[in-house]
């Protein structure tokens, strides 16, 4: 039997897990969009070129694994570089406060004077900030350098991007994987298009939480983006197939 206290702890644990996931929701959404769009574009281009299902699977999975890895590495390195740059400038600010305190204190005064503080209130604000070195440095980082610390893990940013790219990017290939083991009598590309559209609906809906826009706008944008990529890829594949086989 679950006690009220156990139930409350369970709710807090779920809430904590959701908050941790929410921190990386943007990476999950954009990794998923990129995975679904690029993989579907590969499938559409291959179908337009009249390639065999086995070739579609090879090209699709090669794109899925390689592009997903490249995207996740890029996300990881970008975040890591941003954090390293922040830490480098923070060390400089510490040095300046230790060695040029009067200059740095005047900079704090100028910053808050520009915000409209004056007189005794300005003196008090400067005194409170400069009495705590950590607060002083963080204020300089934000107000003078316009830099905000990225406290999320570069590893999990890259990992979330890769996982999402693979999971959502698999959708356009599912039908061809099933057909490989158990042939399907219906048009594979039509089924794939429907499944991919559903994937775009889900990822477009999630995108609204990241961008804080309407659900309809997020879904339509994602559908249109995927549709354009598929149409372009299909006709390019068809054109190249006709050009090469003439």
- pLDDT tens digits for range 6-37: 544 544 444 555 566 678 888 998 898 889 88
Token pair 């890769």 is at which residue?
Answer: 162
| CA atoms of 98 and 190, how far apart (whole Å) | 67
CB 165 within 8 A of CB 36: no
Q: What is the pLDDT of residue 78?
A: 94
Compute how many other C-beta atoms are within 10 angstroms of the C-beta atom of residue 184. Answer: 13
Res 109 pLDDT > 90: yes
Q: What is the pLDDT of residue 214?
A: 76
Res 130 pLDDT > 50: yes
- Range from 48-52, 155-159, 220-224 carrying the lowest mean pLDDT: 220-224
pTM > 0.85: no
Please write the tens of the pLDDT for every residue from 141-166.
Answer: 999 999 988 889 999 999 999 999 99
Q: What does DSSP assign to residue 51?
A: -
Res 222 pLDDT > 80: no
In the chain the first and final C-alpha atoms are separated, in Å, by 74
Q: What residues contact 65, with CB distance under 8 A and at least 6 apart?
A: 166
The two three-digit tokens of residue 219, written as one number: 């879904």
Res 246 pLDDT > 70: no
């Amino acid at each position: 039997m679950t006690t009220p206290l156990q139930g409350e702890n369970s709710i807090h644990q779920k809430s904590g897990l959701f908050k941790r996931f929410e921190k990386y929701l943007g990476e999950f959404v954009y990794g998923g969009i990129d995975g679904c769009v690029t993989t579907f574009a590969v499938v559409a281009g291959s179908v337009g070129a009249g390639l065999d299902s086995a070739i579609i699977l090879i090209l699709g999975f090669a794109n899925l694994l390689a592009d997903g890895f490249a995207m996740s590495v890029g996300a990881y390195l970008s975040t890591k570089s941003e954090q390293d740059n922040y830490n480098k400038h923070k060390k400089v600010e510490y040095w300046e406060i230790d060695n040029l305190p009067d200059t740095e204190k005047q900079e704090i005064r100028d910053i808050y004077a520009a915000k409209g503080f004056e007189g005794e209130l300005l003196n008090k604000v400067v005194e409170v900030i400069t009495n705590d070195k950590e607060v002083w440095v963080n204020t300089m980082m934000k107000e003078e350098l316009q830099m905000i610390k990225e406290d999320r893990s570069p590893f999990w940013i890259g990992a979330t991007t890769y996982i999402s790219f693979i999971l959502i990017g698999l959708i356009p290939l599912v039908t061809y994987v099933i057909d490989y083991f158990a042939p399907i009598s219906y048009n594979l590309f039509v089924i794939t298009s429907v499944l991919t559209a559903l994937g775009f609906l889900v990822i477009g809906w999630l995108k609204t939480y990241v961008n804080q826009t309407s659900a309809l706008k997020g879904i339509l944008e994602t559908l249109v983006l995927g549709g354009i990529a598929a149409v372009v890829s299909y006709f390019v594949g068809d054109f190249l197939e006709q050009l090469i086989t003439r």
